[in-house]
Structure 1
Amino acid sequence: MQVSNSERANILVQALPYIKKYAGATVVVKYGGNAMLDDELKSAVMSDIVLMQLVGINVVLVHGGGPEINAMLKRIGKESKFIGGMRYTDEETIGIVQQVLAGKVNKDLVQLLEDAGGRAIGLCGLDGSLLKADRLEEDLGFVGEIREVNVDILRDAAQNGYIPIVSTVAAGYHGEVYNINADIAAARIAAELGAMKLILMTDVCGLLRNKDDENTLIPVVNVSDVRRLKKEGVINGGMIPKIDCCVDAVRRGVNRAHIIDGRIAHSILVELFTDEGIGTMFY
């Protein structure tokens, strides 16, 4: 379908008030799911991030890397083990997690963003004591619970024109390294930065009243309604931890949190710069 010049102009006019609104604001994007695996979607995400920076938004990109970790563990003959949706991380596995996330995945994303015309710097939670953690009480091995978030290094990067790309391994207090869930880390970083928005990219279109019917999307949720929606069974399964992250971020001062469909190209721009938005917004 061809877009006429007048339609192009209307799209830009519609975006203008949002560009003004977000200029100088901070937006934290958690990047994961299919958008990290599909080359076309990767390219779309990188161009979205660059455009956001060019219109004056301070962007922080926080990423996971589960499929790459699984592939590396398989390569060395080690089975991936999950408990309650969280990766069990023994001493050997945390070494692989650090190597894959802070090494390969993080630096691949830096290069992709640079190739798209942006200026990026790759960081992990160990850099500048960005993330400090203790071991989770549950028996998940070297999986951490964040105790401190020190965002000075992120602010310094932004002030110098760089987009920080953060992999979520954290420093312990006695030399340990901990694996941190990327959604949780993104929510805490967004709160500490006083971000205007937290955006979680997922492989679903948002919160559905009926999980089998995408026409039942709930576009807006007040965080005070989340407990009721859980009781009703609307929020269940794998959506619970993601929505809990959104609730935590909003209660810690983030203006809005969003779960958006990363399977749709340029979904970040649709959320930020159109009247309709996309996915589910929590406020």
Structure 2
Amino acid sequence: SGKDAGLIRARRMTLRDAADDVVDIGQVGEVAHIDPGIVTLLDQADFIPVIAPIGVGEDGCAYNINADLVAGKVAEVIGAEKLMLLTNTAGVLDRDGRLLTGLSPEQVARLIDDGTIHGGMLPKIACALSAVRNGVRASHIVDGRVEHAVLLELFTDAGVGTLIRG
């Protein structure tokens, strides 16, 4: 997990209610720091790390962190070429339900502003944009329900999701 060797340092996440009072949401956190050295060490030893999105806080407690956000931050700190996020939809869809295969950050902003991108896609889009803005060349939002989706996206021109480039 991200707790191992302090790979993911977390900070407790809090929410505020309508009265602006802090709401305790339990052991939920956000990324405070990722140690790229651990991932690099594993890569150099020919290991492919599978990282559970659990971080450790300064208090020593474990915090559950959104997996997409962890993946994006890891991609940023290791200088990844691509970030691939799997979802249970075809990718980013237009208002008519058609797949948008490629978007720029500016196009994404317009689609958020007009309500086309909403709900559960917003955190994925935010993660993809952050990665692209912080050095990752491309972010892919891919339909994980499609058989061999990752291989198709990586090794063919078929494209099975939405590509976001900076």
Partners of 2:148 and 2:162 lie apart in 1 by: 16
1:129 aligns with 2:129: no
Determine which of 58, 61, 75 is the counterpart of 1:190.
75
Partners of 1:171 and 1:274 lie apart in 2 by: 39
1:165 aligns with 2:42: no
Determine which of 128, 144, 148 is the counterpart of 1:262.
144
The corresponding residue for 1:180 is: 65
Partners of 2:144 and 2:158 lie apart in 1 by: 16
Q: Which has the larger radius of gyration?
A: 1
Residue by residue over 1:40-78, the C-alpha shift from the partner in whole angstroms, topping out at 9 and shown as x without a partner, is xxxxxxxxxxxxxxxxxxxxxxxxxxxxxxxxxxxxxxx
Residue by residue over 1:62-106, the C-alpha shift from the partner in whole angstroms, topping out at 9 and shown as x without a partner, is xxxxxxxxxxxxxxxxxxxxxxxxxxxxxxxxxxxxxxxxxxxxx
Partners of 1:276 and 1:266 lie apart in 2 by: 12
The corresponding residue for 1:59 is: none
Find the residue that maps to 1:260 and give its secondary structure.
strand
Equivalent pairs counted in the alignment come to: 157
Normalization by structure 2: what TM-score? 0.90
Partners of 2:133 and 2:14 lie apart in 1 by: 23
Tell me the percent identity.
41
Alpha-carbon deviation of 1:136? Answer: 1.2
Residue by residue over 1:1-51, the C-alpha shift from the partner in whole angstroms, topping out at 9 and shown as x without a partner, is xxxxxxxxxxxxxxxxxxxxxxxxxxxxxxxxxxxxxxxxxxxxxxxxxxx
Alpha-carbon deviation of 1:127? Answer: 1.1
Aligned residue type for 1:239:
M
Partners of 1:160 and 1:230 lie apart in 2 by: 42
> Which structure has greater helix proportion?
1
Q: How does 1:78-227 map to 2 (within 5 A)?
A: 124-138=1-15, 139=23, 140-210=25-95, 213=97, 216-227=98-109
The corresponding residue for 1:250 is: 132
> Which structure has greater strand proportion?
2
Partners of 2:30 and 2:53 lie apart in 1 by: 11
CA RMSD of aligned residues (A): 1.2
Alpha-carbon deviation of 1:225? Answer: 2.2
Find the residue that maps to 1:155 and give its secondary structure.
helix
Aligned residue type for 1:189:
V
Find the residue that maps to 2:14 and give its secondary structure.
coil
Q: Which runs of 5+ in 1 are unaligned?
A: 1-123
Q: Which runs of 5+ in 2 are unaligned?
A: 16-22
Aligned residue type for 1:245:
C
Residue by residue over 1:152-187, the C-alpha shift from the partner in whole angstroms, topping out at 9 and shown as x without a partner, is 111111111111111011010021111100000000
Moved over 6 A (4+): none
Normalization by structure 1: what TM-score? 0.54
Determine which of 134, 153, 156 is the counterpart of 1:271.
153
Alpha-carbon deviation of 1:224? Answer: 2.2
